Amino acid sequence: MAIDRRDYLRGMGAIGLTLAMPTPLWSQSNVIAGQARLDTLSDGNLVLPKSFILGEMSPPGADEILTRYGLAGDTLTPDCNVTLFRDGTRTVLFDAGAGADFMPTTGRLIEAFDTLGVDPFDVTDVVFTHAHPDHIWGLLDDFGDLSFPEADYHIGADEFAYWTDPNTVSTIGTERQSFAVGAANRLAEIADRIILFDDGAEVLPGIHSRATPGHTPGHMAFVVTVGREEIMVVGDAIGNHHIAFERPGWISGSDQDGTLGAKTRQMLLDQLAHDQMRFVGFHLPNGGLGRAEKRDEGFVFVGEDS
């Protein structure tokens, strides 16, 4: 009996889920309104030195904040939450995860699809917030083929221009040169089916773009209409649930333009807290869905599990 690639990948996802870890790999967050459904799927987690966010010299008070969140030591392990939106017509994935080549603790998205009962071949659209490895390297599977072969791909015009510019690899810094090479190679794989858009565009019905630069030059967030509610997919514009909320004006080493990233983060949190709009953060805990509340000189992330 012949086994096609779709059957093989679905089976490998189930085997990987069984062997890799005893707990489920889907995240707890979902919003359901009629035919519309938004889920967050876990792609695993990153393992990062604390200095990646705070720099080699932590700002005064940073360690105290991290301790209050139960984060001790020199390593952080942020979750990776990929958002899946279905409206009865389209199956839209926001970012593609890290794939197999970035970190051994990431690349679990296809297993999460299998657990949720969704076929990656049914994804109609992949919409990128930006082109860092944990968001775009999962575009290709272990065979070097597209993980979501039936999809159209959407990315902001400025982000696409930055990562496809041959000069980026020599100007991004040595520690991120592999980011540039990996992004350029993967974007080349979808050059014939990629759709570019600008700030404020209706990327797909019920999905509007919002320019949120700083983490990368062309980073985008997206406002997604789920039933009568609007939910924002913020990507890495808000990169963690502790320092980014309590001290949004601090420069983050994870942002390519730290000053612009801080300005964007403060603006977003002001709006989200004022409007009490729910949002999904790629690296926020427990699926990443929640709200921001103003508190003292900063904010606090109020997550929710469903």
pLDDT in tens, 196-226: 999 999 999 999 999 999 999 999 999 999 9
Measured in whole angstroms, the distance separating CA 206 from the mean position of its chain's CA atoms is 19
Contact criterion met (CB below 8 Å) for 239 and 262: no
CA gap 16, 7 in Å, rounded: 14
CA gap 46, 115 in Å, rounded: 21
Going by C-beta distance under 8 Å and a sequence separation of 6 or more, which residues neighbour residue 128? 94, 95, 96, 135, 136, 153, 154, 155, 156, 159, 220
Contact criterion met (CB below 8 Å) for 256 and 262: no
Q: Which residues of the chain have pLDDT under 70?
A: 1-28, 56-57, 305-306
Going by C-beta distance under 8 Å and a sequence separation of 6 or more, which residues neighbour residue 104? none
CB atoms near residue 162 (< 10 Å): 20
Q: In the prediction, which pLDDT does 2 show? A: 38
Could you tell me the residue ranges of all domains in the chain?
5-303
Domain 5-303 matching CATH 1.10.630.10: the answer reads no
Q: Count CA atoms closer than 13 A to 305's CA, side-chain side.
A: 5
Q: In the prediction, which pLDDT does 202 show? A: 98
